[in-house]
Amino acid sequence: MTRRVLHYVDSDLFGGSEEAALQLMAALDRSRWEPVLLHHPDAGVARLVAAARQAGIRTVAVPRVRLQNRLAGVWQLRRAIRAERPAVFHAHLSWPFACKHGVLAAWLARVPAIVGTAQLYLPPESTRQPRLMLRLLRRILAVSEEVRRRYAEELRIPGQRLAVVHNAIRVPPGGRQGDPAQRAALVRGGPGYLVLTPARLHPQKGHIYLIAAAAHVPDATFVLAGDGPLRAELEAQARELGIADRVLFLGERTDVPDLLAAADLVVLPSLFEGLPLSVLEAMAAERPVIATAIGGTDEAVVHQRTGMLVPARDPEALASAIQSLRSDPVLAGRLAQAGRERVEREFSTVVTARRVMEIYDQVTAEAGAPHA
């Protein structure tokens, strides 16, 4: 028997949380679970909707709940959910109070089982409201042990309602080589060693420390793939440091796999994370990775085994790590190979989808819903 799971995303842009939701939906066994994407008709998630449809996932758009008509909006969401008759409602939480209207509407629609994926922990102004909303979830799937710990300790979620289910990616075939023409276009006649950072230009991602580190690595070109509110500030920083010719801002890109294939090294200098897909994608592409030693990221990158970890907010340590891999291609290659093997073994969508479907079975059985 095939049952329906309604995946709800309430964001207004396409980022790591939305990519993770897409990867999971696409990997579910369609003979057991039919995924349907419930979303709001915002231009920022058009990429998510298009990719879902391309993967054969049906999408349902519902108006966003507005403050001035909250009750009517929640009731409209309830009607849309009831029309789908899902066995499971799966909310994708970018922070503890995300998807609150959808979760409430699913509860009002009497969906047998409601679960949520916790992508990141950001402290809310008050923990009371998130705790009340999260009580409606039979299971919270934390993408890392760090996220699980924060939900348990700071939101006091009972351990039996928490499970760690790592983010995952579809692992591409190995051995892909970069396009020499694209590489030449990125280097632009500058230093030939290419350092890629695929991340939104947001304070969370720590780009200011990356650019400060770049000033100490004169024999490398730094490529930033992503856009966001800090772009003008970061461009000004590069100019002030006299390295604007070696720091390339690409803006939003949909060809990250091509950029990874062209890169020599991938760096993610984040200040906090859940479990970043960009690191997993770099490891899967068999590229050496340098990242910050923060909760979540350190569950994917094992220092000196599958990559290198440096302290957050430390440009000197970051520059030193870049130089060490720049000067030791044998070490870089060994880390890259080990990273690929670890992603195949522990962070593939096959592994994660299997675990999530087990949880769907558990929560529907707990709720008394029919079991396949």
Domain residue spans of the chain: 3-170+348-367, 180-346
Q: What integer best gives the mean pLDDT of the chain?
A: 94
pLDDT band for 211, please (50, 70, 90 cuts).
Answer: very high
130 band by pLDDT with thresholds 50, 70 and 90: confident
What tokens does 200 get?
């939104």
Q: How confident is the model at residue 128, as a pLDDT?
A: 79
Q: Which CATH class is domain 3-170+348-367?
A: alpha beta
Question: Does 180-346 match 3-170+348-367 at the fold level?
Answer: yes
pTM summary value: 0.90
Tens of pLDDT, residue by residue over 84-129, are: 999 999 999 999 999 999 999 999 999 999 999 999 998 887 777 8
CATH class of the domain whose range is 180-346: alpha beta
Q: What are the pLDDT digits (tens) for 45-97? A: 999 999 999 999 999 999 999 888 889 999 999 999 999 999 999 999 999 99
**Helix or strand (DSSP H, E) at 50:** helix 46-54
Find tokens 């709001």 and name the residue.
40
**How does residue 370 score in pLDDT terms, banded at 50, 70 and 90?**
low
| pLDDT single digits (tens) 279-305 | 999 999 999 999 999 999 999 999 999
With beta carbons less than 8 A apart as the criterion, state whether 5 and 36 touch.
yes
The confidence band for 177, taking pLDDT boundaries of 50, 70 and 90, is confident
Spatial distance between the Cα atoms of 314 and 316, rounded to a whole number of angstroms: 6
String of b and e for 87-121 (b: at least 16 CB within 10 Å)?
A: bbbbbbbbbbbbbbbbbbbbbbbebbbbbbbbbbb
C-alpha 111/C-alpha 162 separation (Å) is 20
Report residue 156 as tokens: 């006091």
Give phi and psi for 19, each to the nearest 5.
-65, -40
